[in-house]
Chain A
Amino acid sequence: MIEARELTRYFDVSKPWLQRTLAGEPRRILRAVDGITFDIPKGTTLSLVGESGCGKSTVARLVVGLYPPTAGQVRFEGKDLAAARAQPEMRRRMQMIFQDPYASLNPRWRVHDIVAEPIRAFNLVPDPAQQRERVAELLRQVGLSPLDGGKYPHEFSGGQRQRISIARALSSNPEFLVCDEPTSALDVSVQAQILNLMKQLQRDLGLTFLFISHNLAVVRQVSDRIGVMYLGRIVELAESESLFTRPRHPYTRALMEAIPDLEMTGRSRTPVGGEVPSPISPPSGCAFHPRCPLANDRCRAEAPAMLDGVACHAVQEGRD
C-alpha cells in the first residue's frame, strides 16, 4: 500500500548567506533521512525505531507529505504521493497521530468540534444531526463517552487526550495511519490502554500503520515488521519476531543489550559506548563504525548497502 523508494530529506542549517560569506564557511546540510526504502503492505504495521536524532520522525512527516522529500519518492497505492496529495480524497485516506496530546489539540475548541473537523473539511457527513451521531460513535469507539464531546481538552488526562487524537484521526475513515511516538508522553498503565485500543482498531477497521517509537518493547507488541534506523538510514529491516530472536546488525544488538528489563533485576547491562554522531558531519563509511565492535578498514571507508535486510559489511562478510 505504501512504498518508499530511496527517500531522502536534507535540511539546510547554514548560517545566513552574508554571515556565511564573511566567515568563509561552506553550507551546512543536515542529512535527516538519507535514502531509505521500505514497503508497508495493506493491513500491516511497520515500525521504525531508533534513538533521538536518527530521523524517524522526519520519515513520518515525509510519508504523510508534511515535508516534501529532497530526493526519492513515496508511493501510495502506486501513485506518487506529491501528486496524490493534491486530491482531497487521497488526503482523507491518510491521517497522523502525534506524540504530544497536550500540544496537538486546540485548547479553545470543544472535543466535538475537534473530532468533527476532518468530517467537515472533507464534507463527509453534511447533515449536522448525522454528524453529531458520527462523532458520538467515534468517541465510543475510542473508549470515551459521547457526553465528553461538550468538554474542552484541558478537562482530560493525557491518555484521554490521546484517545481524542485517535478519534479525530479516525473521523475521516482513513486507511493508513502514521503514529509518531503515540504513547511516549503517557504513563505505562495508560500506554497499555492506548496500545490495546490501537490493535483493536487495526483488527476492526483493517488499518495500515506506520509506527514510530524509540521503545523496542512497545514496538514488539504492535509491529509486523521493524526497521531499525541509525543516523538517517535503515540499518536493519526484518520481520518483528526474527528481529527480536535473531538481531543481526551490531547496532540492533547493542540497542537490545542496553534496554533495562524487569528480568534483569540487580544485573548490569553493557552500555553502547559513545554517542550518536551529528548528522551534519556523519562519520565516513558506515555511520555506526565509531561505536561498532566489529568495525574494520572497509567499514571506515565504504558505506554498506542494504542486502537481505541488513546494511553491514561485517554481517555480509560473515565476520559477526
Chain B
Amino acid sequence: MLLEVKDLRVEFPTRRGVLTALNGVSFSIAPGEVLGVVGESGAGKSMTGAAIIGLLEPPGRIAGGEIRLEGRRIDNLPLAEMRKIRGKRIGAIFQDPLTTLNPLYTVGRQLVETMQAHLPLSDAEARQRAIGWLEQVGIPAAAQRIDAYPHQFSGGMRQRVVIALALCAEPQLVVADEPTTALDVSIQAQIIALLKRLAREQRTAIMLVTHDMGVIAETADRVAVMYAGRIIEIGPVRDVVRHAQHPYTAGLMASIPPLDRKVERLAQIDGSMPRLNAIPPGCPFSPRCPHVFERCRVARPELMPAGATDAACWLHDQPGASA
C-alpha cells in the first residue's frame, strides 16, 4: 500500500467544547489506484484530504490515529519535513484554480520553481519539462503560453495549469479536491481523462474528493462514502453504485436525477446531516434511516463486511440480512 490511514481523528477546539470533525477514518490506496471519496458538504471529505497533505486549517488538529506514506508516518512530521513531502511525494489539486496560482508570476516560472525545489534540474531542462507538462494537460501552443500569466488563461485552462503544477514533481500520490467542480462538462471530461491516464501509465495513486457521483463512477476504482465525519461504506465503485449496502449510500444514489428517463418524483432522504456538535449517539444516520431499529440508536456500528463492500451498519451484523 502506498498510503495508509488508520483511525484518523481530527478535532477542532472551540469555545463551546471540542468538535470531532473526523472520527475513526481508515482506508488505504495502492499505487495506480483511484480512490473516490464522496459525501455531502460537511461530511469531512475535504478535511480528510487536508489532513493527509498536512494542511489542516488551524485550530483543527490531528488528535489520533496515523497516516503512513510507504510505511513511513507523515502525520507527525515537523513543518519543514512535511513541506518536502508535499509537492515531491504528494501533489494537491484544489477546487479553485485562482487561489492556487500566484497571479504575479508567469505559469512557466511557477512550474520551473516547483520542479527545481524538488528535482535536480537546470533552468533549461526545467523549462523544457514545464512545456512538456503543459502539453500533457492539454494546453494548446504550450511553448508560447508558458510565459503567460494566470489571468490570461480561461477557467478551464487555469485548472489544467494547476494540475500540471501538482504533477510536475512527479508525486506518487495526488490528492484532488473537487478538481472539476468549477468546470463545464466538456472540460471536465478532458481533466478526468488526464487523471485516469496518469493512474494507468505513471502508476500515480489518486485520491479524488468530489460530490459528483457521475465523476466517481467513471474515474474511481474504489469509493469511500463519508457521513458526519466517518466512512460509512467503502468498496469497489461498481458495487457501491449499484448495490449499496448502507441505507445512506442507497438513498444518496437514488436521489441522483437520472439522465436517461424522467421520474415523477425523485427519491429523497428526509432531513439533513447532523451538525458536528449534535451527532446523535449510536449510528449517526439513525434519525434519517428508513431501516432503523433499537440497536442503531444506542451502539455505533464500525465498518463490517456487507456484500461486496464494507458498510458501517447493524443490518449486516445479523446472519443473512441485507439493506
Is B a genuine binding partner of A? Answer: yes
Q: Which A residues form the contact surface with B (CB < 8 A)?
A: 51-52, 157-160, 187-193, 195-196, 199, 214-218, 220-221, 240-241, 244, 254-256, 258-272, 275-276
Name 16 A/B residue pairs within 8 A (Cβ), A-sorted.
Answer: A51-B185, A158-B41, A160-B272, A188-B255, A189-B252, A189-B268, A190-B272, A193-B270, A214-B185, A220-B259, A255-B186, A256-B259, A260-B192, A268-B193, A272-B186, A275-B157
Q: Report the tally of A-B residue pairs with Cβ distances under 8 A.
A: 129
Question: A259 and B259: CB pair below 8 A?
Answer: yes
Question: B189 and A262: CB pair below 8 A?
Answer: no
Question: B268 and A196: CB pair below 8 A?
Answer: yes
Question: A265 and B196: CB pair below 8 A?
Answer: no
Separation of A123 and B247 alpha carbons in the complex (Å): 47
Which residues on the A side are within 8 Å of B218 (C-beta)?
Answer: 260-261, 264-269
Which residues on the A side are within 8 Å of B213 (C-beta)?
Answer: 188, 262
Question: B268 and A192: CB pair below 8 A?
Answer: yes
Question: B214 and A260: CB pair below 8 A?
Answer: yes
Question: B184 and A157: CB pair below 8 A?
Answer: no
The minimal Cβ–Cβ distance linking A214 to chain B, given in whole angstroms, is: 7
Which residues on the B side are within 8 Å of A158 (C-beta)?
Answer: 41
Which residues on the A side are within 8 Å of B241 (C-beta)?
Answer: 262, 265
From the candidates B217, B253, B255, name the one contacting A191 in the complex (CB within 8 A).
Answer: B255
B269 within 8 A of A: yes
Interface size class of chain B, counting residues whose CB lies under 8 Å from the partner chain = 35 or more
Separation of A147 and B237 alpha carbons in the complex (Å): 42
Separation of A195 and B154 alpha carbons in the complex (Å): 32
Which residues on the A side are within 8 Å of B190 (C-beta)?
Answer: 271
Which residue on chain A has the smallest CB distance to residue B216? A260
- Residue interface bits B213-224, CB-to-A below 8 A is 1, else 0: 111011000000
* Majority secondary structure, A binding face: helix
B257 within 8 A of A: yes
User: In chain B, residues 217-275, which have Cβ atoms closer than 8 Å to a Cβ of chain A?
Assistant: 217-218, 237-238, 241-242, 251-253, 255-263, 265-270, 272
Question: A260 and B252: CB pair below 8 A?
Answer: no
Which residues on the A side are within 8 Å of B154 (C-beta)?
Answer: 275
Given contacts A221-B263, A260-B189, 15 further A-B contacts (CB under 8 A): A52-B155, A192-B266, A192-B268, A195-B257, A214-B185, A220-B257, A220-B259, A221-B257, A258-B185, A260-B218, A262-B217, A264-B217, A265-B218, A266-B238, A270-B189
- Residue interface bits B164-189, CB-to-A below 8 A is 1, else 0: 00000000000000000000111111
Separation of A52 and B181 alpha carbons in the complex (Å): 12
Question: B257 and A218: CB pair below 8 A?
Answer: yes
Question: A271 and B189: CB pair below 8 A?
Answer: yes
Contact A196 B266, CB 8 Å, known A262-B217, A271-B189? yes
Question: B262 and A262: CB pair below 8 A?
Answer: no
B300 within 8 A of A: no
Separation of A216 and B259 alpha carbons in the complex (Å): 7
- Residue interface bits B189-214, CB-to-A below 8 A is 1, else 0: 11011001000000000000001111
Question: A189 and B193: CB pair below 8 A?
Answer: no
Which residue on chain A has the smallest CB distance to residue B183? A52
The minimal Cβ–Cβ distance linking A187 to chain B, given in whole angstroms, is: 4
B40 within 8 A of A: yes
Which residues on the A side are within 8 Å of B185 (C-beta)?
Answer: 51, 214, 255, 258-260
Separation of A255 and B187 alpha carbons in the complex (Å): 11
Separation of A296 and B224 alpha carbons in the complex (Å): 47
Which residues on the B side are within 8 Å of A199 (C-beta)?
Answer: 265
Contact A263 B260, CB 8 Å, known A51-B185, A269-B189? yes
Which residue on chain B has the smallest CB distance to residue A267? B218
B97 within 8 A of A: no
Which residues on the B side are within 8 Å of A215 (C-beta)?
Answer: 257
Which residues on the A side are within 8 Å of B260 (C-beta)?
Answer: 244, 261, 263
Which residue on chain A has the smallest CB distance to residue B180? A260
Separation of A271 and B187 alpha carbons in the complex (Å): 7
Which residue on chain B has the smallest CB distance to residue A272? B186
Separation of A35 and B152 alpha carbons in the complex (Å): 29
Separation of A264 and B212 alpha carbons in the complex (Å): 14
Question: A188 and B256: CB pair below 8 A?
Answer: yes
Separation of A266 and B270 alpha carbons in the complex (Å): 31
B44 within 8 A of A: no
Question: B262 and A220: CB pair below 8 A?
Answer: yes
The minimal Cβ–Cβ distance linking B261 to chain A, given in whole angstroms, is: 8
Separation of A158 and B211 alpha carbons in the complex (Å): 15
Question: A189 and B40: CB pair below 8 A?
Answer: yes
The minimal Cβ–Cβ distance linking B257 to chain A, given in whole angstroms, is: 4
Q: Which 3 A-B pairs have the closest CB atoms?
A: A260-B214, A271-B189, A192-B255
Which residues on the A side are within 8 Å of B186 (C-beta)?
Answer: 51, 254-255, 258, 271-272, 275
Question: A241 and B189: CB pair below 8 A?
Answer: no
The minimal Cβ–Cβ distance linking A215 to chain B, given in whole angstroms, is: 8
The minimal Cβ–Cβ distance linking A115 to chain B, given in whole angstroms, is: 20
Separation of A197 and B65 alpha carbons in the complex (Å): 43
From the candidates B188, B238, B258, name the one contacting A265 in the complex (CB within 8 A).
Answer: B238
Which residues on the A side are within 8 Å of B49 (C-beta)?
Answer: none
Query: Which of B212, B213, B252, B257 has the most chain A CB atoms inside 10 A of its CB?
Result: B257
Question: B266 and A221: CB pair below 8 A?
Answer: yes
Question: B259 and A189: CB pair below 8 A?
Answer: no
The minimal Cβ–Cβ distance linking A132 to chain B, given in whole angstroms, is: 26
Which residues on the B side are within 8 Å of A244 (C-beta)?
Answer: 259-260
Separation of A217 and B211 alpha carbons in the complex (Å): 15
Query: Which of A159, A193, A195, A260 has the most chain B CB atoms inside 10 A of its CB?
Result: A260
B54 within 8 A of A: no
